[in-house]
Chains A and B, each alone.
Chain A
Amino acid sequence: MLSGGRLAAAALLPAVAVFFSGTAWALDGAAVEKLALGEGDERIAAISALVSEGDPKAVDVLKALAEGEMQTSGRRVLIVRGGKAMDAVTGEAVAPVPADSEDVVANNRLRAAVGDALALLRLLSPVRAERLASAKTLAGGADAATLPLVQRALAQESDAEIRALLEIIAASMQLKSESRDARLAAIRTLGRSSSASSKTLLLELANDADPDIRREAHMSLDAVEKRLALGEWLGLAFAGISLASILLLAALGLAITYGLMGVINMAHGELIMIGAYTTYVVQNLFRGSAFDWYLAAAVPAAFVVSGLVGMALERTVIRWLYGRPLETLLATWGISLILIQAVRTLFGAQNVQVENPAFMSGGLQVLSNLVLPWSRIYIVAFVALVLAGMWILLGKTRLGLFIRGVTQNRAMASCVGVPTARVDTWAFGLGSAIAGLAGCALSQLGNVGPDLGQGYIVDSFLVVVFGGVGHLAGTAYAALVLGFANKALESWSGAVLAKIAVLVFIIFFIQRRPQGLFALRGRAVDT
């Protein structure tokens, strides 16, 4: 399987010609010698020679050079590891280590060249993941001189995904080839690519002197652009869903406390912040062992802690202010200030670091220009779960029945024996607990600091009001609409203007339709 590549390499790089005289397992002695004993450019050329050979032993020699394990004894090149020496060319053990051996010194330029060479040689690695990683690096831009190696890797590659990548890499190198047929073939291959760098390459050729090449380039360019546009659209859609999920999570708790109970809870953002800090504390407890599993404990912990804080607030302050929304607004604002300062006192004013567990870092590569971060994907799924859980809790359980009963007709509920005061506490606690879940999720996306909640309070209220107070489904639709609208505007007007436009839109919308997207049916009581 070696011969095809070797022939190509030999034709392009004269240094390799020497290799034919050697035995099947031996390295190109002249190149190794030059690498160890040569000067400047000679050594770099020697590296290219070794690379194009693509022998696993070349990897060994280059690694030895990079790690300072290469020595010379006269004209003989040795690799010395743990007091044992072996000949770098033949692989024979040399014992004892010759007394006159000297270290081979590598300067920075050489080290860089060795690093590149090693990355390239990974294309031939038996491990699939290493080959894939190497191919992805090369796809970002590779030196045309490495074409022989890439072609050789292509010849022996069996994995379809890596093959596709390598074909495009090889094609982009052949664009400048002497042969017109090779160029045309390369252009056609590039048409199958979906990366922005191929687009740039093709754009250059779109004005080529040769009409055939121009035509092919245009056709390929169209194909690439179509694929790129698809990626952009999908990316935008996902960004919209992702933003919507965050808006929804932040607003969901408020949909209960404000939407159902009518409490203007300005401390809602701080309950989110408490959830995030709870996650931080749990994460620290899990340091050292089973770190990846800390979220399993952090989610219920954030739920419980924020819920308890919420219930305490309801019992001590909010209970006395039912039916006085403006006063509630001021009192809960005061509470939010106290909570912010309390967190500053406990954890310091600086942001704290919440690390993602391993399974949430990185992303899912859907297209070459579309990577969906795992953290976002998990959060979308998490929000869906929370929404479903809340729907079941409110719609199918006894507590949910009581909450709905009390919010719809307090007096009647009380008459049939519902403990309304206790239901209030539980309902407020539930809304707060969901804010805690939001905090837990948000801690996975950005900074956790005492001001975390302040950024979400305006948004959460607008989502609830926009969706129609008292409607859980309305809240969900509102979050989706606002998330998509924000991201769509962002792509052509910038983030800040998009945000302003959405805010202004909601202000106008509420003036046209104060009841929100979905109005509560029945007699609206003027209070």
Chain B
Amino acid sequence: MTRLYGTRGWLILGSAAVVAFVLFPVFNLLVPADHPLHLSNFWVTLAGKILCYAIVAVALDLVWGYAGILSLGHGLFFALGGYAMGMYLMRQIGREGQYQSDLPDFMVFLDWKEFPWHWWNSEHFWWAALLVVLVPGLLAFVFGFFAFRSRVKGVYFSIITQALTFAAMLLFFRNNTGFGGNNGFTDFKRILGFPITTPGTRMALFTITAAVLIAALLLARWVVTSKFGRVLTAIRDAEQRVMFCGYDAVHYKVAVFTASAVLCGIAGSLYVPQVGIINPSEMSPANSIEIAIWVAVGGRGTLAGAVLGAGLVNGAKSYFTVAFPEYWLYFLGLIFVIVTLFMPRGVMGLVARR
């Protein structure tokens, strides 16, 4: 097996793991709340949210940076994972909703008497976990298979994935689709029986997210350093030559696209319990393009850069939208322009040059 990282790489990854698995729990749970070093729940939730985004960024970097497929549908896969988890969380509310019914409030509101068919089995966690993987995975597999087989690529692929996301958003906005329409799912109470807002549950979710991110990084790193990854990079750079060498590019692209979508779905399922809401605006085309800019800021085709970019852009977003809300879009817009014009290799490119 090829070496995944050099010594420095492992050191950075290790220290990040220490921060996530040791420092965060200690300063959040063990240090008393009035102590200056106490890490408030706000920061834990924010960090957890950004880690979810980082997983999505890694997933996109895998297909964009290595296979040259710029998908504008990753927001959709993310939201699908989130909705799958959200269904389970809605069932966990039980009879504690506004209307004290077994049905979620929005169904009572629509005067529905029983669960629609796609809510079948949603009270079980294992089913939710299965959906989180299967729904985005299957959609990506089918969509990717047909698209790549007809050699839809480049910008065409971006545009039709965007259209797909847009169509899904319209679908989920409908009340009759059975996913809470405009408002989506919110007011969760419990996950696996644990109350969802306690610091302990939050910290558990955070550490799981961090573990998934590290696993995703290692897995993606393993994929791109393997022979499979070499072929992917070759497809990105000269698809026709790869085909003339006897490789079937379609299989490679479908495989990596599906894996990437599954990763997004998992990220979405971790995001929803931490943020406490999922609604169709997660599927808006703007969100999916923003994912691409995280990757571009960090540096395409570096994986670690995707994590860095997701952290930088979302950190800046959290800061700007509080401090200067009216300037955030100027700033985000400028990042798009500057990164594409002057920093084609992103922040990682700057680091590597030194």
Query: Do these two chains interact?
Result: yes
Say whether B218 faces chain A, with CB atoms less than 8 Å apart: no
Q: How far apart sit A335 and B159, CA to CA, in the bound complex (Å)?
A: 18
Indicate whether A514 sits within 8 Å of B152 (C-beta atoms), given known contacts A345-B326, A499-B170.
yes
Residues of chain A within 8 A (CB-CB) of B158 are 264, 326, 329
Indicate whether A334 sits within 8 Å of B167 (C-beta atoms), given known contacts A326-B155, A341-B326.
no
Q: How far apart sit A269 and B292, CA to CA, in the bound complex (Å)?
A: 20
Q: Which of B146, B160, B339, B341 contacts A317 (CB 8 A)?
A: B341
B150, A338: Cβ atoms closer than 8 Å: no
B329, A340: Cβ atoms closer than 8 Å: yes
B333, A341: Cβ atoms closer than 8 Å: yes
Residues in A322-379 with C-beta less than 8 Å from chain B: 325-331, 333-338, 340-342, 344-345
Minimum CB–CB distance for A375 against chain B, Å = 26
A511, B341: Cβ atoms closer than 8 Å: no
Residues of chain B within 8 A (CB-CB) of A393 are none
Say whether A13 faces chain B, with CB atoms less than 8 Å apart: no
Say whether A492 faces chain B, with CB atoms less than 8 Å apart: no
B292, A330: Cβ atoms closer than 8 Å: yes
Residues of chain A within 8 A (CB-CB) of B336 are 330-331, 333-335, 337
B289, A333: Cβ atoms closer than 8 Å: yes
For B336, give the chain A residue with the smallest CB separation.
A334
Say whether B222 faces chain A, with CB atoms less than 8 Å apart: no
For B335, give the chain A residue with the smallest CB separation.
A334
Q: How far apart sit A496 and B147, CA to CA, in the bound complex (Å)?
A: 25
Say whether B79 faces chain A, with CB atoms less than 8 Å apart: no
Say whether B240 faces chain A, with CB atoms less than 8 Å apart: yes
Q: Which of A321, A325, A331, A512 contacts B155 (CB 8 A)?
A: A325
B333, A458: Cβ atoms closer than 8 Å: no
B159, A330: Cβ atoms closer than 8 Å: no
For A339, give the chain B residue with the smallest CB separation.
B333
Q: How far apart sit A510 and B333, CA to CA, in the bound complex (Å)?
A: 30
Q: How far apart sit A507 and B139, CA to CA, in the bound complex (Å)?
A: 13
B333, A462: Cβ atoms closer than 8 Å: no
B292, A337: Cβ atoms closer than 8 Å: no
For B327, give the chain A residue with the smallest CB separation.
A341
For B337, give the chain A residue with the smallest CB separation.
A334
Query: What 1/0 mask marks residues of chain B from 127 to 160 whose CB sits below 8 Å from any chain A CB?
Result: 0000000000000000000110111101110111
Q: How far apart sit A266 and B292, CA to CA, in the bound complex (Å)?
A: 14
For A337, give the chain B residue with the smallest CB separation.
B333
Query: What 1/0 mask marks residues of chain A from 379 to 411 whose CB sits below 8 Å from any chain B CB?
Result: 000000000000000000000000000000000
Residues of chain A within 8 A (CB-CB) of B167 are 499-500, 503-504, 507
Residues in A468-527 with C-beta less than 8 Å from chain B: 496-497, 499-500, 503-504, 506-508, 510-512, 514, 526
Indicate whether A526 sits within 8 Å of B240 (C-beta atoms), given known contacts A330-B292, A331-B340, A506-B163.
yes
Q: Which of B146, B289, B326 contacts A330 (CB 8 A)?
A: B289
Residues of chain A within 8 A (CB-CB) of B156 are 465, 510, 514
Q: Which of A327, A338, A500, A512 contacts B333 (CB 8 A)?
A: A338
Residues in B194-242 with C-beta less than 8 Å from chain A: 239-240
Query: Which residues of B approach A to under 8 Å, CB–CB?
Result: 70, 146-147, 149-152, 154-156, 158-160, 162-164, 166-167, 170-171, 173-174, 239-240, 285-286, 289, 292-293, 296, 326-327, 329-330, 332-337, 339-341, 344
Can you sample 22 A-B contacts with CB below 8 Å? A321-B341, A325-B154, A326-B154, A326-B155, A326-B158, A331-B341, A334-B332, A335-B333, A338-B329, A338-B337, A340-B329, A458-B163, A465-B160, A496-B171, A497-B174, A500-B171, A503-B163, A507-B167, A511-B149, A511-B160, A514-B151, A514-B152
Query: Which residues of A approach B to under 8 Å, CB–CB?
Result: 264, 266, 317, 320-321, 325-331, 333-338, 340-342, 344-345, 454, 457-458, 461-462, 465, 496-497, 499-500, 503-504, 506-508, 510-512, 514, 526
7 pairs of A and B residues whose beta carbons are closest in the complex: A334-B336, A338-B333, A337-B333, A341-B329, A503-B167, A331-B340, A334-B333
Given A328-B340, A334-B293, A334-B335, 19 further pairs, Cβ under 8 A: A264-B155, A317-B341, A331-B340, A334-B337, A335-B336, A337-B332, A341-B326, A341-B329, A341-B333, A465-B160, A496-B174, A507-B164, A508-B146, A510-B152, A511-B146, A511-B147, A511-B150, A512-B150, A514-B156
